Structure 1
């Protein structure tokens, strides 16, 4: 019968415990030697959400890569696992491709991002003195309101500043549905829309426009949101409804990176905090990663429970 000195038995026991714990930690993290590839699609708010998730995943023990993708091809990458996750996507921007891919069970919706989103018609708050009855949409039909918003290019109609043409024409359809005396004028770009809003606020020039939140322009400009008319038809073309932002992952994500999966299910983004970061990046020209790191460094009580969810 083999005998070991007492110190050696204790050492072997300790080694076994350490090995067992290392195995448990490894299993919890999963394939942490392989990078989690997070999709970056088209707009700064989404980039902020993605880098927030990425920096926190690194704290959890993972490698992260950021992959630039457009809204529709990103679902092909998610389906085959070449893209691991998409942590901020507005479902009103994905057309038919999202439900089609979701039905194949190659991707998984892991819940809302918690982002307070909004989309609709806005106006500078001073216009409530010019168009009594705002924010109710019926105020827009009053002659004094139409006249205030009329321009040489739209007279006798009022001017409605719409999204760029390639973003769709819902507002023009809704204006027609409700016989509102306005002409939809597409903006040249997002930047042009922000410039008009800034100029209208500075010069107290009446303005009615399509817009969305979160957006940095709303940090610097006080706006009202029109209470929209009832939808003539329950379709995207005839309605403006509150967008939902969700988190989507490749279907194999949970098995491959269990702790990351648990973390991302808990991960949330506050719209007002996102707007402040967008302002710093887009308006003040600051570096995305630096701005996000500052938020992470200052808000551990917010994100620590998400990290703990990944560890437990």
Structure 2
């Protein structure tokens, strides 16, 4: 072998040895959490099926909305596609402050979760949407079990939301009754609306309910962060939560180890983006038209191939 060839081989060998190794995704399953409302199931399946198309091993794991953070911190769970500013911000901030969980940015959807009533209830409680009207006409929202107090139908307990605390802080003559499931919550709204029966309950957006039904969210004192932590804030100087729920983005979060173990999934999740109108349309197909979640997801992915392939870098 000539000196020039030997030198060339040596240089090439040095280059190969010193070149950075490109990280590959682990073959282990990346675990995406599933919760108990339709929109979150859709969001998660959209991301999960896109990751599968890239060749990743994806596992869907049912988990409680707020309790899931314990698993995200330890790495037993890996990705949560919907943390709502309205109900999950405190838990998310606590988790990310540990360094064990990372906020991967906004989903593109904007969240509202608040007390909501059908438009026909304004005839019985004309001061609405001002929250103080509820003090004068609570009995108009009562049931046989709560009378003379009004009944507020809240979401499942696992959703958080501080409705019980809000009732106490604002001295509202209401009892909070929690629906067992997302389906039960909106089945009761459907029934009440058809009968023009009294109801005030948790309604959120993006969702089909505030599109299908005419109604309004209650105007509580505007939320500020201090409302949830400082009793001196607001109209009740001895209690927290004397305000509305926050409004804002729906976030994506992940175990902090995702970026090293599944680097391409990490980047894809950060790029995921969908808006309220798109999500509302898909939820409608599942909840009102009776289509399967998997079929709705597949239909969207077929119609938006360039979009989700952009998420996964293809």
Same fold (TM over 0.5): yes
Structure 1 Cα separation of the partners of residues 72 and 222 of structure 2: 36
The structural deviation recorded for 1:283 is: 4.5
Supply the distance in 2 between the matched residues of 1:73 and 1:156 (Cα, whole angstroms). Answer: 35
- Normalised by the size of structure 1, how large is the TM-score? 0.74
TM-score normalised by L of structure 2: 0.74
Q: 2:216 aligns with which of 204, 224, 229?
A: 224
Question: How big is the alpha-carbon RMSD for the aligned residues of Structure 1 and Structure 2?
Answer: 3.6
Superposition pairs of residues 252-271 of structure 1, within 5 angstroms: 252-271=257-276
Equivalence for 1:64: 58
Gap regions ≥5 residues in structure 2? 3-15, 230-239
Question: Could you say which residue in structure 2 is the equivalent of 1:292?
Answer: 297
**Residues of 1 paired with 2:123 and 2:208: CA distance?**
25
Deviation per CA, 1:98-143: give whole Å up to 9, x if none. Answer: 545433322211112222211111011223344334322233344x
Q: Which has more helix, going by share of residues?
A: 1
Structure 2 counterpart of 1:184, from 153, 168, 175: 175
The correspondence for 1:234, drawn from 222, 227, 233, is: 227
Aligned counterparts, 1:138-287, within 5 A: 138-142=132-136, 145-146=137-138, 148-163=140-155, 170-180=162-172, 182-190=173-181, 191-229=183-221, 234-235=227-228, 238=241, 239=243, 240-242=245-247, 244-287=249-292
Change (3 A) 1:221 1:113: same
Tell me the CA shift for residue 96 of structure 1: 6.9
CA distance in 2 between counterparts of 1:117 and 1:277 reads: 16
Structure 1, unaligned runs of 5 or more: 3-19
Residue correspondences, number: 286
Change (3 A) 1:302 1:227: farther
Do the aligned partners of 1:81 and 1:252 also contact (CA within 8 Å) in 2? yes
Would the aligned equivalents of 1:117 and 1:242 in 2 still touch at CA under 8 Å?
A: yes
Q: Deviations over 1:168-205 (max 9, x none)?
A: 6833443343344x321414423443222112211222
